[in-house]
Amino acid sequence: MSALKFGLALENFTPADKTPDVQSIVAYARRAEELGYESLWAWDHMFLGSGRPFPFLESLSTLALLTAHTERVELGTGILVLPLRRAAVLAKTAASIEIMSGGRLTLGMAVGWYEREFDACGVPFKQRGRIFEENLALMQKFWTGERVSGTATGIDFRGAVMLPKPAPRPRPRLLIGGYVDRVLRRVAEKGDGWLTYFYEPGPFSTAWQRIREHAEAAGRDPDELDNVAQLPLCIDESFEAADARARQYIHDYFDLPAWSESTAESSIRGTPEQCAEQIAEQVAAGVQHICLCPCNYELQQVERFAAEVMPLVADLAVGSAR
């Protein structure tokens, strides 16, 4: 058993009428570390605008910036669309950030879902699963520092060597996101854990148990896997007020595909006491690490959660959901 961890999503993307503010991101990150949060997570898309466009600061560039402004917090992508990246370039960038951060990088990765984004990048959408697998395998070879030969996204490598190797760890931590069973199997067999996007406790528990079963079938110890749950946050004087604000925030900032398990009902919202109760439900479902997406990225929400909610859940211990 271990302590529940809390992290924060970064505002490196915004609705169309607003531009990401670099100085605000830096100040937010510094304050998060001061308050005891344990991780910071950058969103990732090259192009996104299924209903409306969203300006994005590139995720790894954002995290590279924060290596110079933080000392302790884990820095993660939540979640990087791996098939849109060239494996060699991504491996080099990730190794560099792992070194610059002193071993604090987590790559949260998934196959992606927005077909128009793939079209814009010239990557075949229907082949994204295969490309994900190729890129992941080749990146792991590059991180060894040995000579690498292979093919990914149509590029042949013959005896390529990538130095320096990641340090102090052999590679960044790898989390894989997704919903369907073949992705849950990929988490169990090839990742260090699972990253979710706005899951309620019930669906989370079901999928997490399935991941554990896949791990056992693959000969892995399921207790070695971990997870991170992205959840919206809104603290207010009543549940009704918080719920209304959370729903407006989600409408303004996020797309929730109808085919996914992502839902506004996953929000941690209400009074501090109600938020603590909802967090306890997530922990009971197997959640180990929560990445909070605070309402409108308001620093007041971040500070209030640390002061009024964290003490209420300080005794919650997380383990494996069997």
For residue 160, list its beta bridge partners: 148
CATH of 178-194+204-322, one of 3.20.20.30, 1.10.645.10, 3.30.43.10, 3.40.50.300: 3.20.20.30
- Going by pLDDT thresholds of 50, 70 and 90, the confidence category of residue 180 is very high
Please tell me the predicted confidence (pLDDT) of residue 322.
38
Please tell me the predicted confidence (pLDDT) of residue 321.
42
Which segments of the chain belong to CATH 3.20.20.30?
Answer: 1-172, 178-194+204-322
Which residues, including other chains, have CB under 8 Å from residue 140's CB and lie 6 or more apart?
Answer: 171
Buried b (16+ CB within 10 A) or exposed e, 29-57: beebbebebbbbbbbbbbebeeeeebebb
- Predicted confidence (pLDDT) at residue 215 exceeds the cutoff of 90: yes
Nearest residue to 62 via CA among 117, 10, 6: 10
- Whole-prediction pTM value? 0.95
Please tell me the predicted confidence (pLDDT) of residue 119.
92
Average pLDDT, the chain: 95
DSSP for residue 259: T
Please tell me the predicted confidence (pLDDT) of residue 292.
99
Over residues 54-62, the mean pLDDT reads: 94
Give percent of the chain above pLDDT 90: 85
Q: Which CATH superfamily is domain 1-172 in?
A: Luciferase-like domain (3.20.20.30)
39 contacts 291 by C-beta, under 8 angstroms: yes
- Predicted confidence (pLDDT) at residue 320 exceeds the cutoff of 70: no
Q: List pLDDT tens digits, range 59-107.
A: 999 999 999 999 999 999 999 999 999 999 999 999 999 999 999 999 9
Beta-carbon-side half-sphere exposure of residue 261 (alpha carbons within 13 Å): 21
Please tell me the predicted confidence (pLDDT) of residue 3.
93
Over residues 46-54, the mean pLDDT reads: 72
Please tell me the predicted confidence (pLDDT) of residue 257.
79
Please tell me the predicted confidence (pLDDT) of residue 165.
96
What is the spatial distance between Cα 250 and Cα 179, in angstroms, rounded to a whole number?
20
Q: Are strands 2-3 and 317-318 parallel, antiparallel or unpaired?
A: antiparallel
- Predicted confidence (pLDDT) at residue 42 exceeds the cutoff of 90: yes
CA angle 77, 255, 178 (to 5 degrees): 50
* E-state strands within 44-86: 74-81
Q: Is 164 exposed, middle or buried (0-12, 13-18, 19+ CB in 10 A)?
A: exposed
Over residues 20-36, the mean pLDDT reads: 98
Higher pLDDT, 52 or 17: 17
